[in-house]
Each structure stands twice: as structure tokens, then as C-alpha cells.
Chains A and B, each alone.
Chain A
Amino acid sequence: MRSDAIIWAAVAVVFSFLFIPIIVIVLYAFSTAPIPAWPIAAFTLHWFADTWADQAVRQALLLSLEVASVATVTAMILGTLAAMAVARMQSGAKEVVSFIAVLPIALPGILTGMALAAYFAFWGINLSYWTIVAGHATFCVVIVYNNVVARLRRMSHSLTDASADLGADAFRTFRLIQLPMMASAIGAGALLAFALSFDEVIVTTFTAGAQNTLPLWIFGAIRLGQQLPEVNVVVFAIILFTAIPVLLAQKLIGESGKVVR
């Protein structure tokens, strides 16, 4: 049909819009030119070695990995507990809690960042590694919560009831029935939370003191126009390493095929 053809043409345009920038930035990682220009004249791998040898990049990478790990573990525990509590609630209370729970991702990033900056200033807390983790954990919790809550909504009560009928207490039911059924959703949420934390810059600026996470390093370098070839390489690596957890998470979530952010 003619109208279907028009729709498919529009789809093709939108998908090129989505992917051309990603392809372009991947190509620049291999460009010899110190300042990005199109077309790329010649290709090289030597910026990869330079970047790997850069101590500032390594330290930033290490900090980002540490922050993302701690924030993710915190999110797995708190997000799962909250999701289990909400799944047991009556619809009225459920609505209130789920409304409040999405605020950290529904409200503008500048607000979260500014609020945390004001809060730390209010108590006279110096910005450190832990303030970065606290900021990241606020939205990472929501990611895990969303994924687990979606799984619990589809899980039937009869299995936990059967477990109770057979004499298992709540903790045993949790260990043998609920946890295995939630595991892949928790895992998917954790992967996404890790990816989000690893990439976060808007809130981090307000909660990091002198330290640089990897995104802060990239932001600084782009703004000052310095070390652009290294920026290209780092950005290429990040695209590669965030695509893996995301595709993995999608597989974990399985048939519903929808990753909740």
C-alpha cells in the first residue's frame, strides 16, 4: 500500500537520524587528525595507545567504575525492597509510593544536582567520593525498582501462597521462590543502573569535588577543546561498553522486551 510505503520511508529517516551521529563518532576514534573534520583523511590506531597511557583518563575511569559499582549495589538492595513492598500494597498507597518513586528521574537533572548541592552545603558536608555515590544511587534505585516492579506485576501470587502452605516461612519463600523469579529483573535493572551511573554528568558536576569521573573528564576536555583525539577514543569505548550491558539487560528482561528507565 502507498501509505505504508510513506510510513516506512519516515521510519528509515528517523533511524538514520538516530544512528548517523553514533556512526560518525565511532569513526572519529580512528582518525589521524588532531581536530575532527569531515571527511576523515586517514585512519590510525595510535590514539588508542595514547589514551590508555594517559594517567588522568585511567584515574577517571577507575573512579567511575568504583562509583557505579557501589551505587548499583545500593540500588539493587533498596530498589528490590521497595518493589516488593509496593507489590503487596493496596492500590491507593501503591499509587502514592510509585508517584514519589519516579521523581528522581522525572524531575529535571539540574534540580536533583542543585538540591543535593544545597543539601550538602546546608550540613557543611564536603564533596567527596561518597557524595557522588549518594547522588548516583538516588536515580539508580529508581531504575532497579522500575524493573523489579514490572516483573512482580506479572508474577502470580499462587507460588508464594503454595510455598507458605507447604510450611515455608517468609524468608525461606523469599530465598527459594521470590528471589529466583526476580533475579533476572534485578540483574537487568542493575546493568542499566550501572550504565546510567557510568555515563552521568548533569548531577555529578554538583556532587563531585576535585575528583573527575570519566564523563566529567570528557566534559572538561570538550569544553576546553583539549585532547580531542583522546575524547574520541574514550567516547568510542563508552559506546561499546554501554551497548553490551543494555543488550544483555534486554535479553534478561526477555519476552516483554521492554527496558524500563
Chain B
Amino acid sequence: MSLSKSLSAFGWRRPGAASAALLGLPAIWFAALYLAAIGALLITSFWTVDDLSGNLIPGFSLTNFQQLVSGQVYIRIALRTISIAAAVTITDVILAWPVAYAMIRLASPRLSAAMMAGVMVPLWSSYLARVYAWRVILSHNGLLNWTLIEIGLPRAHIGYSNWAMWIVFSYLWLPFMILPVAASVERIPPSLLEASADLGARGFTTFCRVMLPMAVPGMVAGAIFTFSLTLGDYVTPMLVGGRGSDFIGNVVYSNVGVTNNIPFAAAYAVLPLGVMAVFLLIARKLGAFDAL
């Protein structure tokens, strides 16, 4: 019996062993790089940096965390990051619904496929290109102000502000919300909607009492992306947020790139890790992982 035959036979008798063999390489890679990196983040967050030499000092010190909790500015930045991430998520849920509903319930198959492509193209278009487009549109001499003046309104000064970040983040991550919401609308059996209508519920009542609750997993699945991607960004705040709009990511970024204080940056990065851990656990309870 050849080696490949005997290996196959062994794998057939012991399916667990076969799975383990297949999973071995990716699991080692994942554990040695990704999980170990998260571990290194947690460990280094307790380290400190020598002020003079800039060398890392291993050990266990709560200095970084004390500095974060006592600094008003770090708390304000964390609150700004989390509240804009929440606002973006809510905005995207509202914008996603008409598209998801029309795509699944109203459009012909051809139109529905075209709409799907219309969601996919911006989803995968260059991130930087889209942020930069908004920077140009919202700038003093941009398309927005030109339009406002053409229709006889005064210029808006929303370039480089929290409003700009809200618009741009909502724009960037909207396709991530449309796709799972549409997928969960597709899974609702039409008979349920008919039953609701037969029982006398009007369109809006059916939407609120039948569709909305049944699409919760889809909305939460989308929210994982809209929330997490906003939480972990620093490029958009730098390019469209302007002064006084730092995110957690900006503090992390400047502590790694400019001041080279990796332990402090790591300690601040533990916060989004904690927030997302709670978020993912809730999402799991709400069944979002089946809708991913």
C-alpha cells in the first residue's frame, strides 16, 4: 500500500486527525503571528520606555494605564471615537434599509444584480481614494460649497470637522451594512409578510413588527464592521477631521511613529480591543455570526 493510500485510510478512519492535519499549518501561522501579536500587545502595554535612551524596559508597571485614566484628553478622545462610531453605525442602518428592501423585495432579478454590483464597486474601491474624494468635495472651493452657492445658500464650513468625519465614515462603511441587511431580508419567508398583511397590518406595521426584528442578526453583523472599522481608523481623522478631532488611533499612531513609545500606544490600543470583545459577545448572542 502506498504512503498516500495509507495516509488516506488513516484519515478516513480518524476524521478528527484528518481535520487536524489540514488545520495544522494555518493554525500554527495564525497562532504564531496574529494571536501571539495580540498577546505581545497586552504584555508590552505593561512595559515602559527609558526616557533617555528610548529603550523598552520590560516588567510590570501600571504607569501607562494610570496616565490614560488620569488624562482628561485621553478620556475625551476615547468618548469621541466611540460616539462617532456609534453615530456612523446608526446612520448606516438607516441608509441601508431602503437599498436592501428595494434590492430584495421590489427590484427585478436583473436590476437586483445591477444594484448588488453597484454596492460592491464602492465597497472595494480604494479606501484612500474615497477619503481623498471627500476631502476635496468638502474643501473650501469644493463641490459642496459650489453647489450651495449655485442654489443661493451660504458656504458650509464642514470640511475638517467632526461632521466631516461622520459623513465620510458613514460613506466608507455603508456597503458593509447593506450586504448583511439585504441577506437577512432575503431569508424572511414571504409567507410571513403575507400573513401579517392578511391579519390587517399595513406595510409600515409589517415592517416594524415582522421584518425589523427578523433582520436584527443582519443589522448586528453589519454593525460589527461599521463600528469596528470606525473605531480602528486614524487615516480619515487625519485627512478630513482636522485639528481637535483625534481618534484613539491617532494617539496610537503618533506614539508609535513620532515619540516611539510603543508601550503607551499598546496600552491605549487595549481599549478598542475591550470594546470590541464586549461588542462581539453581544453580537454572538443576537445571532450575528450566522448572518456574516
Does A7 lie within 8 Å of B37, measured CB to CB? no
In residues 135-189 of chain B, which contact A (Cβ within 8 Å)? 135-137, 139, 141-143, 145-146, 171, 174-176, 179, 183
Give the shortest distance, in Å, between A109 (CB) and chain B (any CB).
4
Q: A114-B256, A118-B41 are in contact. Are A108 and B231 (CB under 8 A)?
A: yes
List of B residues within 8 angstroms of A71 by Cβ: none
- Which residue of chain B has its CB nearest to the CB of A241? B126
Does A118 lie within 8 Å of B117, measured CB to CB? no
- B56: CB under 8 A from chain A? yes
In residues 19-74 of chain A, which contact B (Cβ within 8 Å)? 19-22, 24-25, 28, 36-39
In residues 110-139 of chain A, which contact B (Cβ within 8 Å)? 110-112, 114-119, 121-122, 134, 137-138
Does B273 lie within 8 Å of A231, measured CB to CB? no
Of B56, B98, B120, B183, which contacts A11 at CB under 8 A? B98
List of B residues within 8 angstroms of A122 by Cβ: 40, 43-44
Does B34 lie within 8 Å of A104, measured CB to CB? yes
- Which residue of chain B has its CB nearest to the CB of A195? B124
Does A121 lie within 8 Å of B262, measured CB to CB? yes
In residues 1-18 of chain B, which contact A (Cβ within 8 Å)? 2, 4-5, 7-9, 11-12, 15, 18
The B contact surface, by secondary structure, is helix
A261 to B222: give the CA distance in the assembly, Å: 11
In residues 219-264 of chain B, which contact A (Cβ within 8 Å)? 224-225, 228-229, 231-235, 238-239, 248-249, 252-253, 256-257, 262
List of A residues within 8 angstroms of B145 by Cβ: 38
The bracket for how many chain A residues form the interface is 35 or more
Chain B 176-216 interface mask (CB, 8 Å, partner A; 1/0): 10010001000000000000000000011000000000000
Q: A10-B98, A219-B128 are in contact. Are A110 and B34 (CB under 8 A)?
A: no
Does B232 lie within 8 Å of A25, measured CB to CB? no
Does A118 lie within 8 Å of B132, measured CB to CB? no
Does A85 lie within 8 Å of B23, measured CB to CB? yes
Chain A 145-175 interface mask (CB, 8 Å, partner B; 1/0): 1000000000000000000100001111000
List of B residues within 8 angstroms of A85 by Cβ: 19-20, 22-23, 26
Interface size on B, residues (CB 8 A): 102
Give the shortest distance, in Å, between A135 (CB) and chain B (any CB).
9
The A contact surface, by secondary structure, is helix
- B52: CB under 8 A from chain A? no
Give the shortest distance, in Å, between A97 (CB) and chain B (any CB).
7
Q: A11-B99, A169-B4, A169-B8 are in contact. Are A218 and B132 (CB under 8 A)?
A: yes
Q: Work out how many contacts link A and B, with CB atoms closer than 8 A.
A: 280
Give the shortest distance, in Å, between A28 (CB) and chain B (any CB).
7
Does A239 lie within 8 Å of B129, measured CB to CB? yes
Q: A11-B102, A88-B18, A247-B121 are in contact. Are A21 and B292 (CB under 8 A)?
A: no
Q: A24-B136, A246-B120 are in contact. Are A199 and B234 (CB under 8 A)?
A: no
List of A residues within 8 angstroms of B113 by Cβ: 257
Does B252 lie within 8 Å of A114, measured CB to CB? yes
Of B37, B126, B134, B176, which contacts A118 at CB under 8 A? B37
- A212: CB under 8 A from chain B? no
A117 to B268: give the CA distance in the assembly, Å: 14
Does A88 lie within 8 Å of B34, measured CB to CB? no
- A190: CB under 8 A from chain B? no
Q: A170-B4, A222-B135 are in contact. List 14 more A-B contacts (CB 8 A).
A: A14-B95, A25-B129, A78-B26, A106-B276, A110-B249, A114-B269, A115-B269, A119-B37, A121-B262, A169-B4, A171-B4, A231-B132, A239-B129, A258-B183
Closest A-B pairs by Cβ, 3 of them? A108-B232, A169-B8, A85-B22
